[in-house]
Amino acid sequence: MRSSSINILRRLINSSGPGLSRQSATVCRMTLISSPFHPVMSAPLFASSVPSRAFSSSSGSENICLVNTKEQFAIARTKIEVDSAPAILYFTAAWCGPCRFMSPVLESLSGKYPDVTIYKIDIDQENIQDKLLELRIDSVPRLHFFKDGKKVDEIIGADVGRLKYTMEKLYE
């Protein structure tokens, strides 16, 4: 992509705000599909505004964990599968408008469902690209829901109504 295309992409994503447009969601999807390694957006555009939390989160919700490495991803998958712990893998990106819309909703729901661990995975982390390819993560936001060690549902896109319904159906 040329720099002018990148600037247009950034403006579209930044302008999406809380009212998501079909155009901004499509832009996020097209950017991801263009390359499995996302060379255009290899670093978060808003790094200074994204809080950084350890794998076992100490600020905000106790049940939201950032996954930044292959090792952390492997630990999360093992915990989900072996311990049969209820969990959500939340694939996101700092530059994605729909993701920025969904994050506060998930934080709010994490308080309502304290037994559900939410693993927040930034797709731009270079050291987890092979895992993303393995799981066929080609768009964000994407949520994988686990119950009793098995993946039971998936949401692609910023659908708050479906997110609330799915969590209520699976975890209450």
* Residues belonging to the active site: 96, 99
Q: What is the DSSP string of 47-85?
A: GGGS----SS--SS-TTEEEE-SHHHHHHHHHHHHHS--
CB–CB of 96/50 below 8 Å?
A: no
CA distance 93 to 140: 7
The kind and range of the H/E element at 161 are helix 160-171
Residue 88 to residue 142: CA distance in whole angstroms: 10
